[in-house]
Amino acid sequence: MNVTGMRPSAADFSVNPFVPYVGTVLDVIEETPAIKTFRVCLDEREAWERFTFIPGQVAQLSIFGVGEATFVINSPPSCRDYLQFSVMRAGEVTNRLHGLSVGDKVGVRGPLGNGFNVEPMKGKNIFFVGGGIGMAPLRTLFLHMLDHRNDFGAISLLYGARSPQDLSYSYELPQWLERADLSVTLTIDREAPDWPHRVGLIPHVLADLAPSPDNAVAIVCGPPIMIRFTVEALQKLGFGPHDIVTTLERRMKCGIGLCGRCNIGTKYVCVDGPVFTLAELQSLPDEL
Ligand SMILES: Cc1cc2nc3c(=O)[nH]c(=O)nc-3n(C[C@H](O)[C@H](O)[C@H](O)COP(=O)(O)OP(=O)(O)OC[C@H]3O[C@@H](n4cnc5c(N)ncnc54)[C@H](O)[C@@H]3O)c2cc1C
Ligand code: FES
């Protein structure tokens, strides 16, 4: 089964793919001390109406005169009010993005990349595993699946962060925890006062939850070290390489398969990814 999305990139080649759309920041949410979420709408009405994407696709967000960086669009495709990006402070562009306020202008180049191929996941049990900022690519697919809840079997989410303060989307978690048609488990690395959920590293909690691999797909996003140990734990539980899906954060520049910045062997993360099955990753040179 191939559970990754379409190629090539959905960049619109009828216009110059290097020229960003101009967008306005509609809202800024302080998620954690290191992560801010930005809700952005494109200024040009026609461009906004044309802008469609599938869960897992990304965009290059730019600050004019500073530079651009890649972020997953973490609102679901059904949201037609804004595009949502969650940005972790890492360096030049992300620091400047953190300084933005409502009404400020940004550039948006996208949608780019393959996204998740949802069709083969229909009818299956879905197990999401997210760590830290890795919850961003999961959020768009998770919300998309909730929009189409009857198309899927059991939906479970294991989401972990270092501490309660490092959990993004904390304002949404209570409603996800309450839903009878979802199973949501939260974990933090070390004990914290009044924390009512799990304590422990994600791969350990996963081994304890022991989801069944039967008719199931696991979708894992997070820091590379977390992905590595989580994938090992999933394999021990019996998940096969075609049923483990993850995203790669190879640095990108053009975003449309031209510059060669993001390639691993013959694959370009910007058009063949960022979503890959473990089976696909195993066929790539060991450069990760
Ligand atoms: C497909 C994809 C999706 C992404 N989605 C998100 C997202 O939703 N939210 C988010 O916060 N970030 C995301 N990122 C990472 C984000 O693009 C980088 O953090 C950003 O480019 C850093 O830009 P900067 O100018 O602030 O940092 P720079 O000044 O360029 O770099 C600061 C430091 O971070 C390192 N670095 C920068 N980018 C990367 C990278 N991609 N991988 C490893 N190290 C890196 C640099 O080597 C340097 O040490 C994504 C990246 C990719 C490729
Ligand atoms: S970023 Fe240029 S080829 Fe992928």
pLDDT at 7 over 60: no
pLDDT at 123 over 60: yes
What domain range includes position 72? 21-112
What's the rounded Cα separation, in Å, for the pair 102 and 38? Answer: 9
Is 11 part of any domain? no
Assess whether 85 and 150 both reside in one domain: no
Model confidence band, residue 175 (pLDDT cutoffs 50, 70, 90) = very high
Assess whether 56 and 128 both reside in one domain: no
Which of 112, 147, 174 is where one domain is finished? 112
pLDDT at 152 over 90: yes
Are the beta carbons of 186 and 173 closer than 8 angstroms?
yes
Q: Residues with Cβ within 6 A of ligand 2? A: 252-255, 257-262, 268, 270
251 CA: nearest ligand 2 atom: 1
Write out the H or E segment, with its range, that includes residue 249: none
Which of 77, 112, 147 is where one domain is finished? 112
User: Beta-carbon neighbour count of residue 111 at 10 Å?
Assistant: 22
247 CA: nearest ligand 1 atom: 1
Model confidence band, residue 285 (pLDDT cutoffs 50, 70, 90) = confident
- Cα 287 to middle of ligand 2, angstroms: 16
At 13 the pLDDT is: 52
**Can you give the CATH number for the domain in which 48 is found?**
2.40.30.10
Assess whether 151 and 204 both reside in one domain: yes
Q: Residues with Cβ within 6 A of ligand 1? A: 58, 69-72, 86-88, 90-94, 133, 136, 249-252, 274
pLDDT at 4 over 50: no
pLDDT at 247 over 90: yes
Sign, CA dihedral 235-241-246-252, equals positive
Assess whether 85 and 155 both reside in one domain: no
Residue nearest to atom 31 of ligand 1 (CA): 91
**Overall domain count for the chain:** 2
pLDDT at 22 over 60: yes
pLDDT above 70 as % of the chain: 94
At 9 the pLDDT is: 45
User: Beta-carbon neighbour count of residue 198 at 10 Å?
Assistant: 16
At 251 the pLDDT is: 81
Assess whether 124 and 264 both reside in one domain: yes
Assess whether 230 and 152 both reside in one domain: yes
Tens digit of each residue's pLDDT (9 = 90 or more) over 124-143 = 999 999 999 999 999 999 99
What's the rounded Cα separation, in Å, for the pair 54 and 76? Answer: 8
**Can you give the CATH number for the domain in which 221 is found?**
3.40.50.80
At 11 the pLDDT is: 52
Tens digit of each residue's pLDDT (9 = 90 or more) over 104-114 = 999 999 999 99
- Cα 250 to middle of ligand 1, angstroms: 8
Tens digit of each residue's pLDDT (9 = 90 or more) over 192-221 = 999 999 999 999 999 999 999 999 999 999
Model confidence band, residue 268 (pLDDT cutoffs 50, 70, 90) = very high
Assess whether 133 and 256 both reside in one domain: yes
35 CA: nearest ligand 1 atom: 11
Assess whether 131 and 263 both reside in one domain: yes
Which of 89, 112, 135 is where one domain is finished? 112
pLDDT at 288 over 60: no
Instruction: Record the tokens describing residue 67, joined without a space.
Output: 């530079």
70 CA: nearest ligand 1 atom: 17
Q: For a pocket test of ligand 1, which of 93, 249, 250 has the largest count of ligand atoms closer than 8 A to its C-beta?
A: 249
136 CA: nearest ligand 1 atom: 8
Q: Which amino acid is at 254?
A: C
